[in-house]
Amino acid sequence: MPNLNWIDYLGLFGAFLSSITFLPQVYKAWKTKSVGDLSIWMILILLGNVSTWLIYGLVKNDFAIIIANSIILFLSLLMLFFKLSFKK
Amino acid sequence: MPNLNWIDYLGLFGAFLSSITFLPQVYKAWKTKSVGDLSIWMILILLGNVSTWLIYGLVKNDFAIIIANSIILFLSLLMLFFKLSFKK
């Protein structure tokens, strides 16, 4: 077991919150089938940002960054799919 | 000048992309005055996540984390304001 102090736990908490940030948005888009107000550029930049952090985490072998960004990548791809599928 | 290698530059690039992720969404909300499809929970969790990373960056004295999350905090507060101001 690694010896974690409170700041490491704060980082893990931040990573956890980051992971679930887009969950309510994906759920809302799926439930309402309405995505007209969502910016496609936000989703595209998010995909770029998350892919960058995923590579960063893989190179640095940072488990928290890898897990968090894998989850966000999955949610961003769902958002992109909804944005492109639902007409309004 | 600190001695940066390519992975540090990749992290800075990730921090830059993270900073501007919500810029198109804020612009779209402001221009259309339409925010009905935006999830208030996404915005609230985003505020929690960004505040956590800001504290993390301040304690660790990590300049990239502090700058990126200050910008995202500002953009999230704007999104929250728009979400609460515009009716639909």
Digit-coded pLDDT (tens) for A1-56:
567 899 999 999 999 999 999 999 999 999 999 999 999 999 999 999 999 999 99
**Between chains, do B37 and A41 touch, taking CB under 8 Å as contact?**
no
Q: What is the pLDDT of residue A3?
A: 77
d(CA A54, CA A36): 29
CB atoms inside a 10 Å sphere around CB A8: 13
Count Cβ neighbours within 10 Å for each residue of B7-38 and write b for 16 or more, e otherwise: eeebbbbbbebbbbbbbbbbebbeeeeebebb
Residues in chain B predicted with pLDDT less than 50, given as ranges, are: none
DSSP state of B61: T
CATH hierarchy code of domain B6-85? 1.20.1280.290
ipTM (interface pTM): 0.91
* A55 Cβ under 8 Å from any chain B Cβ: yes
For chain A, the domains span: 6-85
More reliable by pLDDT, A88 or A6: A6
Among A24, A35, A55, beta carbon nearest to B42: A24
CA distances from B27 to A4, B4, B73, B79 (A): 40, 34, 15, 9
* A47 Cβ under 8 Å from any chain B Cβ: no
Mean pLDDT of A59-65: 92
Q: What is the pLDDT of residue A1?
A: 58
Q: What is the pLDDT of residue B4?
A: 81
Q: What is the pLDDT of residue A12?
A: 93
